[in-house]
Amino acid sequence: MATTDVVSSTPTSRTRVELADPTQQALWILRSAFVIAPILFGLDKFFNVMVEWPRYLAPWLDRLVPGNAQEFMYVVGAIEIVAGLVVLFAPEFGGYLVAAWLGGIIVNLVTADPMRFYDVALRDFGLLLAALALARLAAGVRQRTS
């Protein structure tokens, strides 16, 4: 059985073929999610519209960092915005960066006293796995297209 590769000299045809590839689709879905979500959540750390973010900070961490919990959330928000931009421009590295950040969030959530955010920690664990999948997909696509 013979196989043929679709090769086109026009960028539009090449883009159409790439977007038809399920691997490319998965990469763009994850990449979009990990650009949009960190940037929106990061921006909200400055405004507390979606939720009052300082209440998620573990008391031991609040005592450890200088300033109050809201001031720390400003730093967290800036880091999340940068992480989203890194995913936009370098998803292979950005996926690992977001996964590491989510790992830190999970540690914060499961060590809070009283233990009330386990559901959020479990959700963030799923996001951590998805961020790792993004990094691996980006690496695989880069290797395939090099």
3-state secondary structure string across 41-52: HHHHCCCCCCCC
Express each pLDDT in 23-42 by its tens digit: 999 999 999 999 999 999 99
Q: Does some domain include residue 13? A: no
Ranges 64-73, 96-105, 137-146: which has the least confidence:
137-146
CA dist 91 and 111 (Å) reads 30
Q: Does some domain include residue 63? A: yes
CA dist 100 and 3 (Å) reads 41
Segments of 4-117 assigned E as strands: none
Query: What is the share, in percent, of the chain residues with pLDDT greater than 90?
Result: 82
Let me know if 131 is exposed, middle or buried by CB neighbors in 10 A (0-12, 13-18, 19+).
buried
Token duo for residue 42: 């990061």
Calculate the dihedral angle through the C-alpha atoms of 58, 62, 104, 24, rounding to the nearest 10 degrees.
Answer: 100
Q: Does some domain include residue 15? A: no
> Do 134 and 127 contact (CB within 8 A), yes or no?
no
Q: Does some domain include residue 87? A: yes
**pLDDT > 60? residue 7:** no
Average pLDDT over residues 14-23: 79
Q: Does some domain include residue 12? A: no
State the residue range of the domain holding 64: 21-145
Average pLDDT over residues 61-71: 97
Average pLDDT over residues 70-84: 98
Q: Does some domain include residue 58? A: yes
CA dist 129 and 124 (Å) reads 9
Q: Does some domain include residue 14? A: no
CA dist 88 and 53 (Å) reads 24
Average pLDDT of the chain is 91
Q: What is the largest CA-CA distance in the chain?
A: 68
Q: Does some domain include residue 57? A: yes
Calculate the dihedral angle through the C-alpha atoms of 86, 91, 92, 93, rounding to the nearest 10 degrees.
Answer: 10
Q: What pLDDT is stored for residue 3 in this prediction?
A: 43
pLDDT tier, 56 (very low <50, low <70, confident <90, very high otherwise): very high
Q: How many domains does the chain have?
A: 1
Q: What pLDDT is stored for residue 15 in this prediction?
A: 66
